[in-house]
Structure 1
Amino acid sequence: MSQPTDDGTPAGAVLDAPRPVRFTAPRLASPDDDGREGLMASVVDEIGSMMVEAKRTIAAAASRFDPDVPPTAFYVLRYVMKHQPCTAGDIVKAMALDKSAVSRQVALLREAGFVDVVPDAADGRVMTLGSTDRAEARMLEVRHENRAVFRSHVEGWTDDELGEFAGWLHRFNTPADPR
């Protein structure tokens, strides 16, 4: 007789097609919250948890990238790599960081050989930032490592579930037109 699997299904049993996953998140909201407000409270709670996990993941990625690069500098470098050429002012606006904080992070990244600063072709008074080949190569390695970390979070999900999740995240991160 075959041993049951971890979920109690007999070994070798043919299973029905997977059912849609229904997520039941722990509720941190007030018991008085119900309906849409209760659902919104759950969404806010889960986003908070996701932000904590993202912060932890970014800190680990920054450390793997270079132990001397703090997470804020890593954030700045990722922005530069995605939006290059860009200016320190672009980073300040996009990331809601203080100008002096951006200047410190850019200086650290320059000294470490991850960012180049060059005059803008259209206006030589403006300095633009770009990533170095060293930064690009190192970031590629870290991206592969990050994907492995994220894969562990979605282990067992179908491609359809993963696609649906990506779509919902995109929809959430694209606010509705306020018109």
Structure 2
Amino acid sequence: MVNQNDQIEQQLFKMLRRTQAIHVRTASGDVELERSSYGILCLLSDDGPQRLGSIANAFRLDPSTITRQVQAVVRLGLAEKHVDERDRRATVLSLTDQGAEAVAEARAHRRQMLDALLHEWTKAQRTEFLASLTRFNETVDSWIEREDDADS
């Protein structure tokens, strides 16, 4: 008999593969966004300009990794760096108009795909899925915070 957590792990991995397929199939417009670029641009769109350290923390990645990814979106003209007025040693990243347009377009395509994928689901099923997914993400965030506190 297969352990339920084993099945959940398998389904999570399958979901990761499927989200990559969604990412590839929803690429559109003049700019093809890599997954990491899309994530950074969505963070900026949702939460506003960010210091590079905050972006690294949000994705739980090494600052050098984020620096490379940020350079890519700046090179594409989708984001721009500014000196942080509160701490002139720090850099803040913000969306450009082109970046905001690229995020809006990519999100629209992804949401159309989700509408097509979930069109046979009832409102109750979508609500249950959203609640479970939200709870899972909150649980992971809490676990990461506890692990970070334990490492400090």
How does the TM-score come out when normalised to structure 1? 0.69
Partner of 2:149: none
Tell me the percent identity.
Answer: 22
- The corresponding residue for 2:23 is 58
Runs of 4+ residues deviating >4 angstroms: 176-179
The answer to whether 1:43 aligns with 2:24 is no
Aligned length: 142
1:23 equivalent in structure 2: none
Q: Distance in 1 between matches of 2:45 and 2:129?
A: 26
53, 73, 93: which one aligns with 1:89 = 53
Question: 2:77·2:99 contact (CA, 8 Å) conserved in 1?
Answer: yes
> 1:128: Cα distance to partner?
0.5
Q: For residues 73 and 143 of structure 1, what CA distance do their matches in structure 2 show?
A: 13
RMSD: 2.2
* Structure 1: gaps of 5 or more residues: 1-30
Distance apart, 1:41 and its partner CA: 1.8
Which protein has greater RCO, CA pairs closer than 8 Å, 6+ apart?
2
Structure 1 residue matching 2:139: 3-state secondary structure: coil
Question: Of Structure 1 and Structure 2, which has the larger fraction of its residues in helix?
Answer: 2
- SS of alignment partner, residue 156 of structure 1: coil
Which has more radius of gyration?
A: 1
* Alpha-carbon distance between aligned partners in 1 of 2:56 and 2:25, rounded to the nearest angstrom: 23
TM-score by length of 2: 0.80
Q: Quick one: distance in 2 between partners of 1:81 and 1:90?
A: 14
Q: Displacement, 1:170?
A: 0.7
Instruction: Note if 1:72 corresponds to 2:36.
Output: yes
- Give the distance between the partners of 1:47 and 1:71, measured in 2 at CA: 18
